[in-house]
Structure 1
């Protein structure tokens, strides 16, 4: 939605741990320095998504030899492996300019770490067609209860629908009472003591609340059920959120902090370009020699990991087994895929009778991660036939498609190429599960039927496009190596997120800050371990955390004048709120 110029900006720091990762790596700064004896140390990085690639890239700059493993396949990827994880851009033909973003598709301008790497790699972005973001988005159509409302901005919708205006007014007043605008101002002012105080109060106040409770409870927004339904169907951020009613309110606040008031961007060539640059872009190690992840991995990631043996002595590293029968020992391992895989696909075991690699608290946290389904179905078209119609922008509806987007990628790359994408549907949670068992054709038929009813003037051309254009779809909960697109917590899961975030910030003896956890050379990273899930920027930050932990384990040190994430973990202005303080006044 269009940002209010008078409002504080979206937060570029995660309020649970307000460390400025982008500033820490500004210019050519590295995380620190390894002793000569650790230079060239092999480190296994499992998963070539955002967190894994970022960890591997920073480890390479430190002087390690990061060895990447990846389970996803792609005919055009290096060695038949697909880079990027949820950074999954699909170009059907080399002549197409059109790209279907099957995973990550929009990025708030608050994502300073993401843009640090985009700038480093020479990648540009353009504004994303988000709902109510006029003039980037020519029109947003809000269709609810069989009635369509054509608007340009959120202010238009407020002026034309009294029920929504009442709901939205209550919503803004509730956020003001909760202190969210003041928290944003504290982040913008870099007043970390205020950030810690205000955010801790929000966590204590709402950790047991769902989003729905906040909307309905008199101590929250105090809405009627009808007002809550209208607000959440119209969308109060980058989604139509009644499907998120069961999400923990604290995670909802984190989502708002990162995006509300931000300008959202996209990568014209697809976000997969960022993954490809992490892989191929040459950098220098501490000795000044140029190299790349592609070079140190001999042109391709290793295959899927099937098992990891973790000795109780961190000095003995880890042993990684892969799907091709390979077995190799590393000084450390960084595991970045969905943590569900540690229960279903990847066997994590002790070595030589040592302790379980994850103690009781972290085992409980891994088993308690809540993943959310998401699904997308799109048509790839020769031309943007919707120009000048009510379909030219974003459609939000209470019908099956829930959210539809149109995109024009400009002139094709070659003769016969396609330039336009119509996302027929992008859904989350139970909305995504409704069509999980449907075939691609069944999905297209159902979405086209509903969108044609919402946009009768475009109905015939929409049907023709669906009959002739190629279609693609994904249900992330059905993808074996993902089993959901992202982790979003439910009430009561703060303590699990606290433990997962702290696991990788180990000391030089391999000891984890979580009480009772064994010392070893295994580090967990990825979106699951981030305080703010779903955003690529925060997944990248977990890769930096893991690289810092590995550096420390190998005897490295950061710059005394620029302390790293692990150095500040117990600082009162940075320290995440411990779970045993949740109930404190």
Structure 2
């Protein structure tokens, strides 16, 4: 029996094989004569900015990287001060197997991965689902009351009834572009105005069940946990996630995800033009430039970057990987650099709020067995209490462990916004005490808690995009911005990338894919080209382009 091929993030909006493009022996392209060594400005040292800079360096350009905060962007791994090997993953922390372009760079840097302890997975060991004040212990779905299986079955049935899910996902597995477009392009037209909640509430599969089933689906969901924080978002965005299995088969990076952008900073790949041993660090004289406060047009071939200390840098191309709102707030950006349609899209981006609170504990005590039940004394926990999701990270029996006390979104995250770390930890521990009344979690906590609210950070203003109904056109404008041949001359040469430009916000794969689009765009803008045997996303754009909707 043939083993089924793997699902990857191949489309569905733009089904281009980024993983094949970046691993092809002929490379990503060749610059025009006289362009080697030219400086290109990259705004933002997160995953998207570092991937783009890394690939542009390999092609012989000099990426000058500007960063207003900390290298890594939303891959932020915060060590506990009294145990630097113990990490709080404040941003991206779980990465699916289907993210093949992202995983290419993980493998390139030889970073170690382990299965993420999601609910009801082997990596979690055990799970407690606490709803309406009633905690239930489980290792698999079969350990839970029938209601939970009914919810899971209804979700699967709804997807197949209304979205041709099985056929569409098989087309993604097979990389069958024609079939993907046959199904997906129709769904875009039919579902652009449809919320996630509308899909759940009106599907025949859920209508046969009770409101309680929908409530359970929202509170604890499937795969990675509850989905009610996404109920307002367009169903297209949710469908992309589940079609490409971004919500399943996930890993974390041992030692922290921030190692990835930092590893690209110091890596010394073989490069065109540059001598062996060249790195982004060496090309930037050991440090990123400070934050950008102004982008302006000098002439049709030159853009000028002004940093926060009024230093200016002239360059033929700029890549902005910061969150799009920053181009309308903290960065003074020439209005002529984007069309009014693109300004509308950049400004209409809708960001989701997110908060996390972590503590370090003396050891992975949760593996201790409760003498009364014979079960682990604590488990990965999903609840309708303010903690929502609590995750346990085991660094070894003789090492401190880490607990993500609370991972919350939207209104649940906003409840934490004005509170200091110590108060957030207190509230989370109080909530967990009600679920585990005989367990003294506090007796194991050592050191200070670590927390984050991404919406309170002026360099981010939110965790990531959550596209609303009616936003497909905006998303398409942003994603396709790297195709600039039809733009006015004053709009050419500035590019955008990042997960809020992608179709899959919140997943680092989208940041990587849009970075690679920008690489193609910059090379093309500078008169370069791809190898005939390895066409890039712009070369195949006409055949693969996201469906255009009437304005």
TM-score for both structures, normalised by structure 2: 0.94
SS at match of 2:53: helix
Counterpart for residue 267 of structure 1:
253
In 2, Cα distance between equivalents of 1:15 and 1:192: 9
Is the contact between residue 8 and residue 184 of structure 1 (CA under 8 Å) also seen in structure 2? no
**Does residue 335 in structure 1 map to residue 320 in structure 2?**
yes
Counterpart for residue 491 of structure 1:
469
Compared with structure 1, are the counterparts of its residues 204 and 237 closer, same or farther at alpha carbon in structure 2 (3 Å cutoff)? farther
Is the contact between residue 487 and residue 528 of structure 1 (CA under 8 Å) also seen in structure 2? yes
1:297-342 deviations in Å (ceiling 9; x for gaps): 00000000000002461x2x21000012211101110000111111
SS at match of 2:319: strand
2:459 aligned to 481, 498, 518, which one? 481
Is the contact between residue 157 and residue 205 of structure 2 (CA under 8 Å) also seen in structure 1? no
**Does residue 455 in structure 1 map to residue 436 in structure 2?**
yes
1:57-105 deviations in Å (ceiling 9; x for gaps): 0100111000000011xxxxxxxxx211001001124854311100000
**4+ residue runs of structure 1 moved beyond 3 angstroms?**
5-11, 93-96, 218-221, 388-393, 516-519
**Does residue 226 in structure 1 map to residue 212 in structure 2?**
yes
Deviates more, 1:296-305 or 1:224-233: 224-233
Is the contact between residue 238 and residue 259 of structure 1 (CA under 8 Å) also seen in structure 2? no
Counterpart for residue 505 of structure 1:
483
How far 1:119 sits from its partner (Å)?
Answer: 1.3
Is the contact between residue 8 and residue 100 of structure 2 (CA under 8 Å) also seen in structure 1? no
In 1, Cα distance between equivalents of 2:74 and 2:472: 24
Compared with structure 1, are the counterparts of its residues 362 and 535 closer, same or farther at alpha carbon in structure 2 (3 Å cutoff)? same
2:72 aligned to 84, 98, 105, which one? 84
How far 1:225 sits from its partner (Å)?
Answer: 2.7
Counterpart for residue 367 of structure 1:
347
1:101 aligned to 68, 79, 89, which one? 89
Pairwise mapping of residues 100-119 of structure 1 onto structure 2 (< 5 A)? 100-119=88-107
How far 1:149 sits from its partner (Å)?
Answer: 1.3
How far 1:29 sits from its partner (Å)?
Answer: 4.2
Is the contact between residue 118 and residue 223 of structure 2 (CA under 8 Å) also seen in structure 1? no
How far 1:235 sits from its partner (Å)?
Answer: 2.1
Give RMSD over aligned pairs: 2.1
Counterpart for residue 78 of structure 1:
none
**Does residue 242 in structure 1 map to residue 214 in structure 2?**
no
Counterpart for residue 425 of structure 1:
406
Counterpart for residue 516 of structure 2:
544
Unaligned runs of 5+ in 2: 370-375
Is the contact between residue 40 and residue 61 of structure 2 (CA under 8 Å) also seen in structure 1? yes
Counterpart for residue 344 of structure 1:
329
SS at match of 1:379: strand
How far 1:164 sits from its partner (Å)?
Answer: 2.6
1:497-555 deviations in Å (ceiling 9; x for gaps): 00000112334xxx44xxx7953211111111101111001101111111110000000
1:352-394 deviations in Å (ceiling 9; x for gaps): xxxx111111011011000000000010123112113546442
How far 1:256 sits from its partner (Å)?
Answer: 1.5
Is the contact between residue 70 and residue 301 of structure 1 (CA under 8 Å) also seen in structure 2? yes
Counterpart for residue 356 of structure 2:
376
**Does residue 577 in structure 1 map to residue 547 in structure 2?**
yes
In 1, Cα distance between equivalents of 2:306 and 2:85: 39
SS at match of 1:226: helix
1:152-195 deviations in Å (ceiling 9; x for gaps): 123433xx2x3333322221111111211211111111211101
Is the contact between residue 363 and residue 397 of structure 2 (CA under 8 Å) also seen in structure 1? no
Compared with structure 1, are the counterparts of its residues 261 and 252 closer, same or farther at alpha carbon in structure 2 (3 Å cutoff)? closer
Compared with structure 1, are the counterparts of its residues 558 and 391 closer, same or farther at alpha carbon in structure 2 (3 Å cutoff)? farther
1:57 aligned to 54, 58, 83, which one? 54
Is the contact between residue 154 and residue 205 of structure 2 (CA under 8 Å) also seen in structure 1? no
Is the contact between residue 141 and residue 148 of structure 2 (CA under 8 Å) also seen in structure 1? no
**Does residue 150 in structure 1 map to residue 137 in structure 2?**
yes
In 2, Cα distance between equivalents of 1:118 and 1:328: 32
SS at match of 1:321: strand
Counterpart for residue 373 of structure 2:
none
Compared with structure 1, are the counterparts of its residues 307 and 288 closer, same or farther at alpha carbon in structure 2 (3 Å cutoff)? closer
Is the contact between residue 62 and residue 285 of structure 1 (CA under 8 Å) also seen in structure 2? yes
In 2, Cα distance between equivalents of 1:517 and 1:6: 51
Counterpart for residue 372 of structure 2:
none
2:416 aligned to 425, 428, 435, which one? 435
Is the contact between residue 394 and residue 404 of structure 1 (CA under 8 Å) also seen in structure 2? yes
In 2, Cα distance between equivalents of 1:83 and 1:29: 30
Pairwise mapping of residues 179-194 of structure 1 onto structure 2 (< 5 A)? 179-194=164-179
Counterpart for residue 79 of structure 1:
none
2:155 aligned to 156, 168, 171, which one? 171
How far 1:20 sits from its partner (Å)?
Answer: 1.1
SS at match of 1:45: strand
Counterpart for residue 503 of structure 2:
531
How far 1:560 sits from its partner (Å)?
Answer: 1.2
Is the contact between residue 195 and residue 469 of structure 2 (CA under 8 Å) also seen in structure 1? yes
